[in-house]
Chain A
Amino acid sequence: MPIVTFTADDGTDREVDVPDGDSLMETAVRQGVPGIVGECGGALACATCHVFVVDADPADLPAMDEMEDEMLWGTAVDRRDESRLSCQLRPRRPMHVRTPETQQ
């Protein structure tokens, strides 16, 4: 199980094991990582699972599909180049992401 580090907006780190095949969002919500809401449960409908990728194996960052790209225009904190919706990421290797100040 890869370990993913979530750095909150205030700088605190939290590490979680992401079970193989699960998305970053699912794991974060189920284990209560602050800063990820995931209101729609991964249906690409809410954009409340926004993260900024700090470091990741390129193989764990599949190209964004159009839907994710469009939903990213609706994040509470404006998107940047390193923005992703964490319900679309299923890491197999360690990853480091930062969560935005707010999701809603």
Chain B
Amino acid sequence: MNPEAAHVLVVGASHAGVQLAVALREQGHHGPVTLVGAEDHRPYQRPPLSKDWLLGKAEKDSVLLRSDAFWAERDIRVLPGERVVEVDRSTEPAVARTDRGTEIAHDRLVLATGARARALPVPGGDLEGVLLLRDADDALELRERLPDLRRAVVVGGGFIGLEVAAALRAVGAEVVVLESADRLLARACGPETAQELLDRHRADGIDVRLGARVTALTGERRVTGVRLGDDHLEADLVVVGVGVVPATELAESLGLVCDDGVRVDERALASDGLTLAVGDVANQPHPAPGAAAGSRVRLESVSNTLDQAAVAAATLLGRELAYPGVPWFWSTQGAHRLQIAGVSHADDERVVRRDPARGGLTTLYYRDGRLVAADTVDAPAEFVTVKKALAQGATIPRERAADVTAPLRTLVEQPVGA
């Protein structure tokens, strides 16, 4: 069959699924495309849910990813509120079934099933008033509780935990953040960036506690407190942000190899060489500059959904496309703006730049002498400089990188031959 005419079924209608459908049309696919999503909402953006949404600066309509007309014009069928529970490949073409009994015959299957928030595995973890934050329903529930919120405890000092903490503080709540590690953002940033954000959140009046291990959540029906060994904190709301678990059930039912996500190759193909997986559910060859050969990663970012969807759409059309961008991420935490280009490792060499005038902080990461990543806090010009340099294969000489008297962009050296 002509790949441009194949019926593509995309399971999961969030950032990755939407972007895949969009990329298919952009790249010339004209066959049927069906986008099925388990949530009872039209496809929407997740990042605002822990930020502007909680501050009342974003509403249901303003977080939509695309308009209804957009889907109609591109002839993409969107089925919200249906979960694909089974895919039968014994027939030709294969047929997917949803929990509402809809059957969808299709030629190609793309898994964009994402991830779900990890629950806190302690006694009381399921009390009322203990919230996870992954989707719109969670965010609606959290926002409803804000008017009479006095004291919130946020468990987890990662991106989502810190974003929520900053937003709850901004709407006037007393906020405690409990992080079990001895620093914030241990998975994603270097120690200087983590310390900078720690200092800033504490200065904003958030009580951030490191090395804090939650042993139980207390309360009768509703949560009223958090126990940390012998210590006890009062809380009328607990928000848990302790990471996610990739949603691999459907992939496993198809016999696809899964290991922290659906294992895919550089073309986004799963182990059967036929099914594709994109976005937070996909465990892929590491696409970041400087990544070790053979290393793998499951990225959780909007930027990855765009880049991987472009790759997967090309694969579906019988072409090959290399991962087009440099992975990057942003996290707006109250007034503080963290931006990350590339993916750093704990053992990279670091060069730190602090802008004395404006207080922005940049950490540049070097591996084998090569610039591979940067984190910036309130230094957008430096972030874009590194992102662009990485995309062009350019570098910033390590010896000069700490010189804050020179704008970072004047220090970029283009690759030889460019």
Contacts and interface: CB of A to CB of B under 8 A. Distances in A.
A40 B74 CA distance: 23
B409 interface: yes
A104 B384 contact: no
Interface residues on chain B, size class? 20 to 34
A46 B47 CA distance: 13
Interface string B38-66: 00000001011001000000000011111
Contacts of A22: 62
Interface string B68-79: 011001100000
Interface stretch (A3-11, A55-63, A69-77): A69-77
Nearest to A21: B62
Interface in A10-36: 22, 26, 29-32
Contact of A40 (B47, B64, B65, B324): B47
Interface residues of A, number: 21
Contacts of A70: 380-381, 384
A67 B332 CA distance: 13
B70 A47 contact: no
Contacts, number: 64
B325 A73 contact: no
Contacts of B330: 40, 43, 45-46
Contact of A104 (B64, B324, B332, B381): B324
Contact of A74 (B47, B62, B387): B387
Given A30-B67, A71-B380, A41 B45 contact: yes
Interface of A: 22, 26, 29-32, 37, 39-41, 43-47, 67, 70-71, 73-74, 104
23 contacts: A29-B66, A30-B65, A30-B66, A31-B67, A31-B69, A32-B22, A32-B66, A32-B73, A37-B306, A39-B302, A40-B47, A40-B330, A43-B47, A43-B330, A45-B332, A45-B337, A47-B384, A67-B337, A67-B380, A70-B380, A71-B384, A73-B381, A73-B409
Across the A-B interface, the 10 shortest Cβ-Cβ residue pairs: A74-B384, A45-B330, A70-B381, A70-B380, A30-B67, A32-B70, A71-B380, A41-B45, A73-B381, A73-B384
